[in-house]
Amino acid sequence: MSTRSNPLEELERFFERMSHQFDDTRMWDPSGSIERWSSEFGTMAVDLVDRDDEFVATVDMPGFDREEIDVRVTDHTLRITAEHEERLDEEKEEGRYIRHERRRESADRSIRLPDDVDPDEVTARMKNGVLTITLPKLEAEEARGIEIEDAS
């Protein structure tokens, strides 16, 4: 008995992905809430916490190995990219594929940060498919008094 996919279910998943993209493409708003960018092919669920002296981003990355993930910080933006491809050892396989559903997945996510961070001090750890990124904030420059000279 062959298994066929239901076209309506596929269409429903497509619309759900599209809906997430439109819902998740907002940036920081004045109230301080975090909104998400989603990637074209998949969505990375991200929590970003402000801990006064640092931000901590927790990112769900199931199915990705740490070697497949790239984290960068530039100009108030945290960018996470990942690419994964299931590879087959063709010599060990017997028979022919009727259906092949191993995945090739890529994801790209950018998150606007409300304060400057120190890119040299950013750290990232991966455990059980969860990426934790710690982004220490740069210390605010202290205000400097300006002497007013007599113009005469």
Residue 20 phi, psi (nearest 5): -60, -40
Task: Kindly tell me if the per-residue pLDDT of 28 is higher than 60.
Answer: no
The total number of structural domains in the chain stands at: 1
Residues 81, 69 contacting (CB under 8 angstroms): yes
Model confidence over 121-136: pLDDT tens digits?
999 999 999 999 999 9
21 contact partners, CB below 8 Å, separation of at least 6:
38, 40, 43
Helix (H, G, I), strand (E, B) or coil at 38: coil
The CATH number covering residue 32 comes to: 2.60.40.790
Specify if 115 maps to a domain.
yes
Query: What span, in angstroms and rounded, lies between the C-alpha atoms of 133 and 120?
Result: 13
Model confidence over 35-77: pLDDT tens digits?
333 333 456 889 999 998 999 999 999 889 999 999 999 888 9
- pTM of the predicted protein model: 0.60
112 contact partners, CB below 8 Å, separation of at least 6:
27, 28, 76, 77
Map 75-131 to HEC letters. CCEEEEEEEEECCCCCCCCCCCCCCCCCCEEEEEEEEECCCCECHHHCEEEEECCEE
Give me the domain span that covers residue 118: 10-87+99-136
